[in-house]
Structure 1
Amino acid sequence: MRILHVLNTVVHTGNGIANVAVDLAVEQRRRGHEVAVASAGGGFVDLLRENSVLHHHLDFTSRRPKALITAHRGLATLVDRTRPEVVHAHTITPTVVGAVVQRRRPFTLVATVHNEYQRGVTLMRTADAVVGVSEAVSASMVRRGVPRARIHTVLNGTVGSPRRTAPSPEDVVHLPPDAIVTVGAVSHRKGADVLVAAFEEVVREFPGAQLYFVGNVDWTELAEGVAAGERADQVHFVGFDAQPQRYFPTATVFVLASRRDPMPLVLLEALEAGLPVVASDVDGIPEALDGGRAGLLARPEDPTDLAAKTISLLRSEDLRRRLGAAAKERVATLTVAAMTERYLEVYGITSS
């Protein structure tokens, strides 16, 4: 099968959309399909080429009329030259441009909704098939008017990702006891303020606890406020790390306090490492945690509940061990191979 993935960028900066698209493209190529990616480029271009996935430079990052006309011409030319059977769009603008190009060209257009909370996401209904990365996302798209018959759910998978290698012993970050780790942008959506507030309650029972934010600091006011406060020596904003798994081997608990999160890859990676998890009961997170069997679910935007769940894990080594085992069992089904197989099924169903 000839497959063309289209998205904004393939940056190597913790972008979940790029991560999924790259994993999928490489795995499809390994299975013998002809696969290409079109984007404005980024750090994963070399990885794609190393795995015999062609990368074509097309810029979908602007929605200005002139930029859209240029993107349309570029995609139309690329489709005419490469004749893909499936064009798989991962963001809004490539979906809309792809739908216009498709009017005069015979290919199947599939659109994956990675972030259904984004403004304009309803435009992705123009695809022949709309894929939600969790049942929560798929249900949201139904509420937005997309016919259920055109919606499919494909859970993200991270096990077996070609992007990642296990950290070497010398690369592992050695954390102190009672270390709480979260990975992702320090932002309002990721609930950074909720986690900071919850940590205040945690340290009342565990005075030596340490909190590590591993990710880009988008909310500088929050970080600056913490740095100026009494927890400055206990809350660490370490910034983006291309290999955040370095923090997992010696972490005590992984916490994700998101307000919105369709199916966060970092959560799956924490499960893969066998970390006991506390995460918000929102969007696709309960699906990732198997309804709470593979990790503790906390009420969203509730620092007290988040703190209570985190404290319960810090208190009990037995609970941490049991949840760690359940985490590995759960994530064993969330592989890149399983994700790829499911997408190939969607392509086949939609094309027929």
Structure 2
Amino acid sequence: MKKILFISHDANRAGAQILLLRFLKQLKNVPEYQFKILLRHGGSLLRDFEKVAPVYHWYHRELGNRQKVARLLNRKTFQEQILKEIKNERYDLIVSNTITNGELLHQLRPLVKCPMVTYAHEMPMGIAMYTDPSSFNQTLRYTDAYWACSEAQRLIYIERFGIDPAKISVLPSLLPDGAWQLKPSEEAVSQIRKLLELPEGALVVGAVGTFDWRKGIDIFVQLARQSEPETHFVWVGGHEHQVEYHMITEDLRRLGLSDRVHLIPHSDRPFDFISAFDVFVLTSREEPYPLVVLEAALLARPIVCFAQSGGAPDFVEQDAGFVANYLDSSAMSHYISQLLRNPELRQKMGHTAREKVFARHQDERAMQAFLELIEKSCS
């Protein structure tokens, strides 16, 4: 039996963490492997991780005041104990679920003899945003092999960071449980439209993501400004306490768009919202291979994205929506209008998007690739 340690930088409800959880839920049913999880920080998915496997908590959990103070006073001792346990476990493989764990890999390397893999979910902008050069260089130094989310991302790591092509492989995304049965619900769509107080017959352009620059929330506002006055725009994700949220709402107020651009904080009903979209738009400047695009495709929604933005253009191509030139919001707006004005085209491209998911992301194929990469890395 092979023993594996998976490291997640936190347990927040975001693409990398969700994807890791999906793989671990299935790996739990494979008797040849035994694994534990190390969480550097907590988050809303904490209980989900704990249900899958034993968890090392690198951070200070929210405990009673006395326990919390004790941990803060003994942080070094506490983390040293975790490192000692990891050393004694004698793992056959360590998989880091992000490029941001360089400092931790640096601490682990002298303690373990097994290979260390980095499952990379970031591209150059994300690397600059979420880590510093020293930590990233440590990731490059201590990583024996890499798993990429898309071929586009794999090529960037080879060209920009000098990764040996033989040491980086693409791991296809695993879709959510029950994804193949996922279909738009008329009742859910009706509820969402009522919640947003949309006028009868109003068309909806939607996006899902955090309120940040890399995700292109600023471009989303420009698309709304360039659109027909009867079109509504819905962005799902982020938090109302973010500075960006208040900046965006002020932009919308000044532009007179507050009544038809709806900013919805994080929701546990993303599929219901996507079902209510007529067109799904990915304004991201960079995404290795966004899960939300696959989820929109499962719901037969046509997709509009930017070229040179990561893996999404490789999925959309010329038949599941449109790919605009990088940051060309005018071209993106034109493609959106084309889809909104042509219901038959929307339906055709949405249907093609759904067929592509079935063809390219079967659970068996993704899980087989996952197991093959684990076995290859352990040997």
- Structure 1: which 5+ residue stretches go unaligned? 61-65
The answer as to 2:101 corresponding to 1:84 is no
The answer as to 2:152 corresponding to 1:136 is yes
Q: Which moved more, 1:168-177 or 1:268-277?
A: 168-177
Q: Kindly indicate whether the alpha-carbon contact (under 8 Å) linking 1:8 and 1:59 is maintained by their aligned counterparts in 2.
A: no
Residue 158 (structure 1) aligned to one of 170, 175, 195: 175
Cα deviations across residues 99-126 of structure 1 (Å, max 9, x unaligned)?
A: 5423342322110110122134454322
**Distance in 2 (alpha carbons) for counterparts of 1:307 and 1:138:** 30
Change (3 A) 1:201 1:35: same
1:186 corresponds in structure 2 to 211
Q: Kindly indicate whether the alpha-carbon contact (under 8 Å) linking 1:23 and 1:336 is maintained by their aligned counterparts in 2.
A: no
Cα deviations across residues 53-75 of structure 1 (Å, max 9, x unaligned)?
A: 22221239xxxxx9997797355
Q: Kindly indicate whether the alpha-carbon contact (under 8 Å) linking 1:133 and 1:153 is maintained by their aligned counterparts in 2.
A: yes
**Distance in 2 (alpha carbons) for counterparts of 1:71 and 1:267:** 40
TM-score relative to the length of structure 2: 0.81
Cα offset for 1:335?
A: 4.6
Equivalent residues in 2 for 1:100-139, closer than 5 Å: 100-117=107-124, 118-119=127-128, 120=133, 121-125=136-140, 126-139=142-155
Cα offset for 1:81?
A: 3.9
Change (3 A) 1:170 1:350: same
Residue 148 (structure 1) aligned to one of 151, 154, 165: 165
TM-score relative to the length of structure 1: 0.86
Which amino acid letter does the alignment assign opposite residue 178 of structure 1? L
**Distance in 2 (alpha carbons) for counterparts of 1:259 and 1:288:** 16
Change (3 A) 1:81 1:227: farther
**Distance in 1 (alpha carbons) for counterparts of 2:95 and 2:212:** 29
1:63 corresponds in structure 2 to none
**Distance in 2 (alpha carbons) for counterparts of 1:67 and 1:245:** 43
Q: Which has the higher contact order (CA 8 A, sep 6+)?
A: 1
Which amino acid letter does the alignment assign opposite residue 205 of structure 2? I
Aligned pairs, how many?
Answer: 339
Q: Kindly indicate whether the alpha-carbon contact (under 8 Å) linking 2:58 and 2:79 is maintained by their aligned counterparts in 1.
A: no
- Structure 2: which 5+ residue stretches go unaligned? 61-72
Which amino acid letter does the alignment assign opposite residue 136 of structure 1? A
Q: Kindly indicate whether the alpha-carbon contact (under 8 Å) linking 1:167 and 1:246 is maintained by their aligned counterparts in 2.
A: yes
Normalized per residue, which structure has more helix? 2
Cα offset for 1:170?
A: 5.9
Which amino acid letter does the alignment assign opposite residue 298 of structure 2? E
**Distance in 1 (alpha carbons) for counterparts of 2:259 and 2:235:** 13
2:277 corresponds in structure 1 to 251
The answer as to 2:341 corresponding to 1:342 is no
Is the partner of 1:141 in helix, strand or coil? Answer: helix
**Distance in 1 (alpha carbons) for counterparts of 2:183 and 2:59:** 33
Instruction: Quote the RMSD (CA, aligned, Å).
Output: 2.8
Equivalent residues in 2 for 1:1-352, closer than 5 Å: 1-12=2-13, 15-32=14-31, 33-39=33-39, 40-50=41-51, 52-59=52-59, 73-117=80-124, 118-119=127-128, 120=133, 121-125=136-140, 126-143=142-159, 144-160=161-177, 172=189, 173-175=191-193, 176=198, 177-203=202-228, 207-216=229-238, 218=242, 219=244, 220-281=246-307, 282-289=309-316, 291-332=317-358, 333-335=360-362, 337-352=364-379
**Distance in 2 (alpha carbons) for counterparts of 1:161 and 1:5:** 24
Q: Kindly indicate whether the alpha-carbon contact (under 8 Å) linking 1:191 and 1:301 is maintained by their aligned counterparts in 2.
A: no
Cα deviations across residues 181-202 of structure 1 (Å, max 9, x unaligned)?
A: 1100122111122222122222
Cα deviations across residues 36-62 of structure 1 (Å, max 9, x unaligned)?
A: 211023222322333x422221239xx
